[in-house]
Structure 1
Amino acid sequence: MIVNEEFLGKIRRDFALNLYEVKLWTALLSRGISSAGELSDMADVPRSRTYDVLESLERKGFIVVKPEKPIRYMAIAPDEVLLRVSKRLAEEAEVRANRLNNLGSSDVLAELTLLYKQGVEPMQPTDFSGTLKGRHNLHDHISMLAKTAEKSINIVTTEDGIIRKAKFLKPVFEKAKDRGVKIKIMAPINDLTKESLDKLKDVAEIKDIKGMDSRFMIVDAKQLMFMLMDDKAVHPTYDIGMWVNTPYFAGTMQNMFDLAWKQK
């Protein structure tokens, strides 16, 4: 059986299967009903692994074992499998979320926090820096910085950047404003960004920016996060940001931001 490798890769990602699982499942889909030996040959999966993998597929709801000798396996319609997998993943996510929520008041979190504080104490200022990859991780770190802000959050961003921030970060900005944090944003104001900027105007001062295709954030003139890639040219998975906790550098960038703000 010849199946496009790109197609197999997509199935692996979408259905959270390993390589042997996806090979045997697609082989069985093409046959309807088959034995482990036949599937092993068709999918090019070692026979010593085939039974274990088929058992895993059965547990996950992808196939059915027929009660006969020799044992044979029957495929389940893909649309039914999709419903089963969606339900299973939702249930697993709920269990994991509840478990993590319960950690908030547990001894485990207290011990982890103690370990973190003990590790932070001997760190040098230059240790408080790092590289982040992937837009999801960038948003998470921006959110974390906003949560720690005490006085100010100043942001320079692009058309796409302000749309994303209005969508994902407004609740964090609202809480920062409630704490008395002053938020200023410089972003392009045009037909594409108007709706997003309208959502943010009640939590931040906003000014138009032209001729500066940059993305960075300054918090309390102490912490700085800046993006290294053009967000129009890079896939979100490969977007990269740098975070530094240095009043010297962040303070310099704050002065530049203030100067640009006054000129707008």
Structure 2
Amino acid sequence: MDNISNQDQAIELLQELGLKEYEARSFVALARRERGTAKDISETSDVPRTRVYDAIRVLESKGLVETQHSNPKVFRAVTIDEAVNTLQSEYIERTKSLRSALSGLDPTDDERTTDATHEVWSLSGNQGITSRTQQLIEGATEELMLVIGHESIFTDQLADQLRTAGERGVDVIVGAVDEDLHAEIRDALPGAEVFVSGLDWLSRSPLPSDDTEISRLLLADREAILVSSFVESGGDSREHEQGVFGRGFDNGLVAIVRRLMATGLLFRDDPRGSE
């Protein structure tokens, strides 16, 4: 059952990375064996034999398959590491081209936006919120204050980003929702100030009908704020993440968090004191 599940997942992921269905099925069929003919591939992958050759030609052009010109022809997939590296390189090149194309778009009008200090924007989905978190961390020049409401938010990638920020001179202050997470963060970020959050409502609301769980609260340079929470989706309260983002020293949302920080309410026994 696990093999079938892994096969279907591999085919789906290969399609997401740009391969067509028959190409993905043919490659997975070859990855399951040392080598094979078009007949072997067809029998394993359910790809019509006449279409296997077309799929193999594409896979060969991408550097994913090698061909032995015998009679009949024999094919083999490159190693898993080589295949992943090849697809990763192609993905990176495509995203670079996309960045260039998007940056070169002509504006539809002559409007010039101005910095708005009272706007708040909503974000949806873990990937988008994680990306905005990274952007704020990488753009910070003075101080980062991050309160983590759930252990799933503190990933190796986030730890690396915070360490890098600290190495370039940014003050990194991290609050954890409980003692266990506090210990994990402290071990991963020895150069940061790490505390247990004093905001119990991060994980549990005083309102009986409110099951919202705050997942992260980030204040960058005291002028940009990102707050996100887990929302129920299909019975799993942590399946979907939603957030709000605001920027500007006069932004009300930013001001509230900045004042909480100044009064020491964000952390228990905050040595920074009030300002």
- TM bracket (short chain): 0.5 to 0.7
Check whether the contact 2:29–2:45 (CA below 8 A) recurs between aligned residues.
yes
Note the residue ranges of structure 1 that are not aligned, 5 or more in a row: none
Q: Identify if the C-alpha distance between structure 1 residues 90 and 170 changes in structure 2 by more than 3 Å, giving closer, same or farther.
A: same
Q: Distance in 1 between matches of 2:189 and 2:45?
A: 57
Q: Identify if the C-alpha distance between structure 1 residues 175 and 190 changes in structure 2 by more than 3 Å, giving closer, same or farther.
A: same
Describe how 1:1-264 pairs up with structure 2 within 5 A: 4=4, 7-13=7-13, 16=17, 17-26=19-28, 32-35=36-39, 39=42, 43-45=46-48, 47=50, 50-59=52-61, 60-64=63-67, 66-68=69-71, 72-76=72-76, 80-89=78-87, 92=90, 96=93, 121-122=113-114, 124=116, 129-135=121-127, 137-149=128-140, 152-158=143-149, 160=151, 161-162=153-154, 164=156, 165-177=158-170, 182-188=171-177, 190-204=179-193, 206-209=194-197, 211=200, 212-213=202-203, 214=214, 215-229=216-230, 234=238, 238-246=240-248, 247-259=251-263, 260-261=265-266, 264=269
> Which amino acid in structure 2 is aligned with residue 169 of structure 1?
L
Query: What secondary structure does 2:38 align onto?
Result: strand
Check whether the contact 2:229–2:242 (CA below 8 A) recurs between aligned residues.
yes
Q: Distance in 2 between matches of 1:112 and 1:127?
A: 27
Number of residues of Structure 1 aligned to a counterpart in Structure 2: 236
Taking structure 1 as the reference length, the TM-score comes to 0.63
Q: Identify if the C-alpha distance between structure 1 residues 9 and 240 changes in structure 2 by more than 3 Å, giving closer, same or farther.
A: same
Q: CA deviation at 1:66?
A: 3.4
Q: Identify if the C-alpha distance between structure 1 residues 43 and 73 changes in structure 2 by more than 3 Å, giving closer, same or farther.
A: farther
Check whether the contact 1:40–1:50 (CA below 8 A) recurs between aligned residues.
no
Q: CA deviation at 1:185?
A: 2.7
How big is each residue's C-alpha offset from its partner over 1:5-45, in whole Å with a ceiling of 9 and x where there is no partner? 76223244269543111333455668932359x93997255
Q: Distance in 1 between matches of 2:188 and 2:45?
A: 55
Q: CA deviation at 1:225?
A: 0.3
Greater per-residue helix proportion: 1
Q: Distance in 2 between matches of 1:184 and 1:27?
A: 50
Check whether the contact 1:153–1:183 (CA below 8 A) recurs between aligned residues.
yes
Across the aligned residues of Structure 1 and Structure 2, the Cα RMSD in angstroms comes to 4.5
Note the residue ranges of structure 2 that are not aligned, 5 or more in a row: 204-213, 270-275
Q: Distance in 2 between matches of 1:167 and 1:90?
A: 21
Q: Distance in 1 between matches of 2:185 and 2:111?
A: 40
Q: Distance in 2 between matches of 1:152 and 1:23?
A: 49
Q: CA deviation at 1:4?
A: 4.4
Q: Distance in 2 between matches of 1:34 and 1:192?
A: 53
> Which amino acid in structure 2 is aligned with residue 194 of structure 1?
A
How big is each residue's C-alpha offset from its partner over 1:159-193, in whole Å with a ceiling of 9 and x where there is no partner? 5245654344221233252xxxx543322463553
Q: Identify if the C-alpha distance between structure 1 residues 127 and 53 changes in structure 2 by more than 3 Å, giving closer, same or farther.
A: farther
Q: Identify if the C-alpha distance between structure 1 residues 154 and 169 changes in structure 2 by more than 3 Å, giving closer, same or farther.
A: closer
Q: CA deviation at 1:251?
A: 0.4
Taking structure 2 as the reference length, the TM-score comes to 0.61
Q: Distance in 1 between matches of 2:184 and 2:24?
A: 43
Q: Identify if the C-alpha distance between structure 1 residues 53 and 63 changes in structure 2 by more than 3 Å, giving closer, same or farther.
A: same
- % same residue: 13
